[in-house]
């Protein structure tokens, strides 16, 4: 069993608890994850009684939880597996990132644009600390950096039973560092980050203008590097192009292998569309895959968005997915699409209400006057559109699916505890639903 299933499982169970606290107390504690495969999360129960009960009472709760967390059409199956259910295992992943079950090497389509990046990630996950150290991946948004990092992490967890791995976003690193300083526990922080076998940090470009964190990361880096521990970083640009990154970090980031991911070629895009459709259990013809790949050239997140739109249109109109439906779903001003709410509709209404600009929402600003409308957009997009967590994050400055998930959870809590927020959400939702579509 791999830890990424465990992470997904524990998130699903906590979500299910929130949805159904009544049954949670008695039944949910005895469950353990078995396997995640082909869009199905299998969960072991200690006996038939539990299987029956959960099938009857909690199937929908768990499916909903799994779908909300992953942003994919995942469903849950309960099985009687006494042995698994009684064997507890201990997590080795010290990570605030939930490993995405679909972000594996097997699901990564290799083409000329990413061949080197893929090969170096595979090499590093086979022999961490021994081939390329550090490994530095860079490329623009939506080209698969985060996917590859998840794949390395999952692979390490599966193959290195005793390795301790830290996997986090740069923002999470900075936040942990800041709170360690606030709590006067720098030693604890250093222990946590310097005693691992591998550290994986996504979007390291956010270290810019963070002088103190850069200093701390410099020492973390040296300590790990000198002990032969693997360091993997991703960024949107070359180390030397990250603004105000200290020279000594720029040079260290280039000590190992620096590898770029380019935008995918047409053929690679076609293959990716097919792979994604397959993962979601959607059947599409070659013609439709070709059409999507021609239409969406900028990045891969867009390809996934297109697939979601097509699927949504097919399910609302009950029509088969053929080229004419794909055209309807993706052409601008299509009458079929105009009835659907787009993320832009949501962003328009929210930015107007709060008097902020889209660029603020997409920026890294953390002032509450910006974070609240940003999180509102995520929450509303989650509830009013069929976009996945990744797609929503993509529209709001390329944030990852966990960030969107946390934002949705936060607003969900607020809505149930704060009358005023609830009133704002209702008002904004009404406005959004009555706006003529911009898509
Ligand atoms: P980045 O971190 O570079 O912004 P992501 O890793 O988040 O990009 O990728 C965006 C989406 O595109 C993800 O859903 C990811 O699975 C998908 N993706 C990117 N590259 C590939 C690929 N080569 N094969 C399959 N999916 C890919
Ligand atoms: Mg990313």
pLDDT of 78 higher than 50: yes
Please compute the mean of the pLDDT values over residues 73-90 and round it to a whole number. Answer: 72
222 neighbors 215 (Cβ within 8 angstroms) = no
- Order of strands, sheet of 230-235, starting from the edge strand that comes earlier in the sequence: 93-94, 165-169, 198-202, 230-235, 135-138, 257-260
Tokens of 27: 């039944």
Q: Can you tell me which atom of ligand 1 is nearest the CA of 100?
A: 16
Asked which of 184-188, 203-207, 340-344 is least confident by mean pLDDT, the reply is 340-344
pLDDT bin (cut points 50, 70, 90) of residue 336 is very low
Distance 144 CA to ligand 1 centre (A): 3
Tell how far the Cα of 145 is from the centroid of ligand 2, in angstroms: 5
For residue range 421-431, list pLDDT tens digits in order: 888 888 888 78
> Could you give phi then psi for residue 168, rounded to 5 degrees?
-155, 165
Closest atom of ligand 1 relative to the 203 alpha carbon? 2
Region 269-296: mean pLDDT is 94
Decide: 374 and 407 in contact? Cβ < 8 Å.
yes
Q: What is the pLDDT of residue 26?
A: 67
The two tokens of residue 400 are 């990852």
- Model confidence at 28, in pLDDT bands (50, 70, 90)? confident
Tell me what the mean pLDDT of segment 152-157 comes to: 94
Confidence of residue 439 (pLDDT cuts 50, 70, 90): very low
Determine whether the shortest distance from the Cβ of 138 to ligand 1 is under 6 A. Answer: no
Q: Long-range pairs for 425-433 at CB < 8 Å and ≥24 separation?
A: 425/376, 425/379, 425/380, 427/353, 428/349, 428/350, 428/353, 428/376, 428/380, 429/380, 429/383, 429/384, 431/349, 431/353, 432/341, 432/345, 432/346, 432/349, 432/380, 432/384, 433/341, 433/384
Residue 6 CB-density burial (10 A; 0-12 exposed, 13-18 middle, 19+ buried)? buried
Look at residue 64 and tell me whether its pLDDT is greater than 60. yes
> What would the pLDDT profile of 314-328 be if each residue is shown by its tens digit?
988 899 999 999 999
How large is the average pLDDT for residues 14-43? 79
Query: 369 or 36: which carries more pLDDT confidence?
Result: 369
> Of 40-49, 77-86, 89-98, which gets the smallest average pLDDT?
89-98
The larger pLDDT score, comparing residue 169 to residue 18, is at 169
pLDDT band at 288 (very low <50, low <70, confident <90, very high): very high
Q: Is the CB of 428 under 6 A from ligand 1?
A: no
Which atom of ligand 1 lies nearest, measured to the CA of 202? 2
Q: Which of 98, 111, 144 to mutate to test the pocket of ligand 1 (most atoms within 8 A of CB)?
A: 144
At residue 332, the pLDDT reads: 59
Residue of 304, 260, 299, 298 whose CA lies nearest to 279: 304
| Cβ neighbours around 162 below 10 Å, total | 6
Q: From the CB of 399, is ligand 1 less than 6 Å away?
A: no
pTM (2 decimals)? 0.62
In this structure, the residue with its CA closest to atom 10 of ligand 1 is: 142
What is the reported pLDDT for 20? Answer: 76
For 211-365, strand residue ranges (E) read 230-235, 257-260
For residue 333, the model assigns a pLDDT of 36
Q: Is 398 in the pocket of ligand 1 (CB under 6 A)?
A: yes
Query: From ligand 2's centre to the CA of 32, what distance in Å?
Result: 30
Atom of ligand 1 nearest to the CA of 114: 23
Across the chain, mean pLDDT equals 88
351, two tokens: 């930015």
Mutate to test the pocket of ligand 1, among 97, 147, 404 (most ligand atoms within 8 A of CB): 147
Least confident residue range of 6-15, 17-26, 76-85, 186-195: 17-26
Rg of the chain, C-alpha, whole Å: 22
Judge whether residue 359 has pLDDT over 90.
Answer: yes
**pLDDT more than 90, % of the chain:** 55
The pLDDT score that the predictor gives to residue 335 is 38
Residue 317, H or E segment? helix 300-317
How much is the pLDDT for 436? 62
Residue 71 has a pLDDT of 83
Determine the straight-line distance between the first and last CA of the chain, rounded to whole angstroms. 43
User: Is the per-residue pLDDT at 180 higher than 90?
Assistant: yes
Give the model's pLDDT for residue 199: 97
Kindly state if the Cβ of 305 falls inside 6 Å of ligand 1: no
Whether ligand 1 lies within 6 angstroms of the CB of 269 is answered as no
46-60, 254-268, 315-329: which range is least confident on average?
46-60
Q: Tell me the CA–centroid distance for residue 147 and ligand 1, in Å.
A: 5
Of 18-32, 64-78, 175-189, 233-247, where does mean pLDDT reach its minimum? 18-32
Nearest CA to 138 among 267, 295, 256? 256
> What pLDDT is recorded for position 251?
97
């Amino acid at each position: 069993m791999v830890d990424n299933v465990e992470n997904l499982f524990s998130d699903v169970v906590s979500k299910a608890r929130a949805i159904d606290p009544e049954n949670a107390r008695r039944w949910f504690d005895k469950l353990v994850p078995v396997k995640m495969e082909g869009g199905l999360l299998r969960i072991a129960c200690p006996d038939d009684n539990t299987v029956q009960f959960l099938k009857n009472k909690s199937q929908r709760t768990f499916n909903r939880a799994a779908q909300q967390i992953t942003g994919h059409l995942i469903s849950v199956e309960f099985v009687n597996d006494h042995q698994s259910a009684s064997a507890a295992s201990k997590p080795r992943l010290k990570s605030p990132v939930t490993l995405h079950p679909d972000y594996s090497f097997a699901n990564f389509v290799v083409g000329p644009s990413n061949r080197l990046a893929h090969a170096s990630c595979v090499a590093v996950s086979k022999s961490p600390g021994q081939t390329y150290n550090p490994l530095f991946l860079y490329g623009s948004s939506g080209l698969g950096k985060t996917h590859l990092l998840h794949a390395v992490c999952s692979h390490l967890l599966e193959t290195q039973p005793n390795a301790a791995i830290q996997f986090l976003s740069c923002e999470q690193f900075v936040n942990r560092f800041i709170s360690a300083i606030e709590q006067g526990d720098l030693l604890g922080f250093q222990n946590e980050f310097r005693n691992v076998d591998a550290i994986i940090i996504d979007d390291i470009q956010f270290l810019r203008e963070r002088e103190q964190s850069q200093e701390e990361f410099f020492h973390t880096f040296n300590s790990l590097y000198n002990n032969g521990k693997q360091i993997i970083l991703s960024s949107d640009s070359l180390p030397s192009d990250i603004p105000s990154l200290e020279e000594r970090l720029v040079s260290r980031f280039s000590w190992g292998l620096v590898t770029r991911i380019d935008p995918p070629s047409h053929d690679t895009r076609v293959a990716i569309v097919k792979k994604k459709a397959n993962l979601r259990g959607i059947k599409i013809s070659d013609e439709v895959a070709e059409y999507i790949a021609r239409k969406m050239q900028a990045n891969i997140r867009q390809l996934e968005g297109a697939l979601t739109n097509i699927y949504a249109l097919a399910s609302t109109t009950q029509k088969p997915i053929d080229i004419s439906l794909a055209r309807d779903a993706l052409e601008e001003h299509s009458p079929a699409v105009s009835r659907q709410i787009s993320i832009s509709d949501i962003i328009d209404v929210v930015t107007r209400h709060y008097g902020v600009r889209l660029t603020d929402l997409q920026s890294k600003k953390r002032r509450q006057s910006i974070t609240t409308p940003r999180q509102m957009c995520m929450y509303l997009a989650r509830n009013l559109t069929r976009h996945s967590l990744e797609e929503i994050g993509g529209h709001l400055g390329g944030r990852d699916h966990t960030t969107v998930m946390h934002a949705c959870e936060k607003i969900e809590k607020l809505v149930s505890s704060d009358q005023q927020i609830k009133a704002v959400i209702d008002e904004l939702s009404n406005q959004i639903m009555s706006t003529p579509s911009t898509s």
